[in-house]
Structure 1
């Protein structure tokens, strides 16, 4: 692997021989599974790529929050962090990365909700995350660099502000959140689910976590209801509305991530399509017949 990271400079691998396998996934990094020949070490090395500042990624916070989640028993343990090499070494978790279709299994859905709840009940992270601030920052980045946006993105600025006001009218206590729980970031061993990839982690509204997962994993309306019930037990109308509005926040905000990546990432991937898909989901909700009812329910429900 001529483009492999500097594994020989890692302290945990010093004096050992090892073998390396590429792991799939990763749109801002490459991941490698490294196993020592003595059988004592089985780790994942995350090699960060691209300009993290464009995407608002704080690598120090990522490493610290990964360690916090690991110590809380929700994620992998951090073994070594080498920012000068853009490397983070974590323990390899035995289990399978989920796919969107796996959530059709009620057991998987319940375990995933339980993992999110355990993370949210754990120690606070070192930083905060707010999608309204993130979206504004991403929009400034797009405009400052002349990156293309989909036609009509700014048409929804007023509705976006309405969402912000509705959510702020009945704020929730922030908790440690991953904020990027797409299916592949759930590792299921059949008994419990672990959470990985804390690039965008920070203390946030827990309903953003649930809404982000529901839209990233393509949940049906019935699955959203079941997921919220698995998390809350007996959700209120406001809980359900808040999760659905936060799913909209995920779509509208993260879509800009895709357009930035399309212009700046060294990774070959259809980031434009990725961003457009999320933007179109957001537009469907903004223009949908139930939008105003969600704004009302999140405050009055």
Structure 2
């Protein structure tokens, strides 16, 4: 496995391009600085990402390029180390790269990492519904869920521990009084949120959804589609860990609503889900699936989608306190929490016949 440089460097969130140049001096010393074009990607709400394109080789940011021509440098958002085990993240990337699921990791630094550019485009609320792309995502997720490696570590589902971690990070009083006022009008106390989740998770545990190695954050921006190779690649393994199979799928379905203009009318219909889940199960099990298995997974996925809404609503409260990124995390959290409330009874009432 190629060497991963460990750089004693902290990149200023307000000068990510300057920091990227310092990274390139180490991992691409043969690149001529004057011939490197930098592009700051703006679709992330947690981290800052800059693409470094070696123009000496006539690579354009809209071209496929090669791993030698393009490097991505990701700078973590403020205080995100409270939420994410960064050591485990880099271990996951290296492990999943070995299995063909993640890009090559080139370097880590104190508040970020540099990795291989994956040619293609991120999914949109429109493209994720295209049959050929949906089939590719379902197949790829099933393949990842079959990864078994002794080095991954704890095989307990991460969901309960992650929610517990997040709830403990909600400040009793938000440092910005206006934010505190807004949040107090939308959300119950952390203690009440904990009681609500304990009740929800008690019901979800009884489903006995298989525990597999999951991405856990498969929003549309974390899926890269290449029309040239007709394949999808998953990126950003910050939250990758063992978890309930149905959570990973349900979480992905909730992301069909989009980020910039969230619209839960885009949540996939039962007909779409059953087609997607059939592709998934046939790849995961290596054989055709029964209608009973299909209906069972459909119920599991939609009920675990509630846990997805809950998780990211609580996550948004922590981001509202700490993030320096210009994004309305309170509004995001409100939308996710309201969708959890709106769908809770409906989804928990779903049933299937054995």
Give the TM interval when normalised to the shorter protein: 0.7 to 0.9
Partners of 1:214 and 1:176 in 2: CA distance: 18
Secondary structure of the 1:6 match is helix
Structure 1 unmatched runs, 5+: none
The one of 226, 246, 249 equivalent to 2:275 is 226
1:9 is matched with which residue: 6, 17, 22? 22
Partner residue of 1:66? 93
Give runs of aligned pairs for residues 215-254 of structure 1, distance below 5 A. Answer: 215-218=254-257, 219-222=267-270, 223-233=272-282, 234=289, 235-254=293-312
Aligned pairs, number:
293
Q: How big is each residue's C-alpha offset from its partner over 1:120-175, in whole Å with a ceiling of 9 and x where there is no partner?
A: 12244455652222222222211445463524477676663343223323434422
**5+ residue gaps in structure 2?**
1-12, 58-67, 175-179, 258-266, 283-288
Distance across 1 between alignment mates of 2:101 and 2:140: 7
Length-normalised TM-score, structure 2: 0.75
Q: Is the 8 A contact 1:65 1:126 kept in 2?
A: no
**Structure 2: how far apart are the matches of 1:140 and 1:167?**
22
> Could you state the TM-score of these two structures normalised by the residue count of structure 1?
0.87
**Helix, strand or coil at the partner of 1:217:** helix
Whether the 8 Å CA contact 1:30–1:47 is kept in 2: the answer is: yes
How big is the alpha-carbon RMSD for the aligned residues of Structure 1 and Structure 2? Answer: 2.5
Aligned to 1:285: 343
Q: Does 1:41 align with 2:69?
A: yes
> Of 202, 208, 218, which aligns to 1:181?
218
Distance 1:257 1:159 in 2: 16
DSSP-derived class of the 1:62 partner: helix
Q: Tell me whether 1:119 sits opposite 2:167 in the alignment.
A: no
Whole-angstrom CA distance in 2 between matches of 1:20 and 1:119: 32
Flag the structure with larger Rg.
2
Structure 1 residues 87, 251: closer, same or farther in 2, change over 3 A? same
Tell me which of 234, 255, 258 is aligned to 2:313: 255
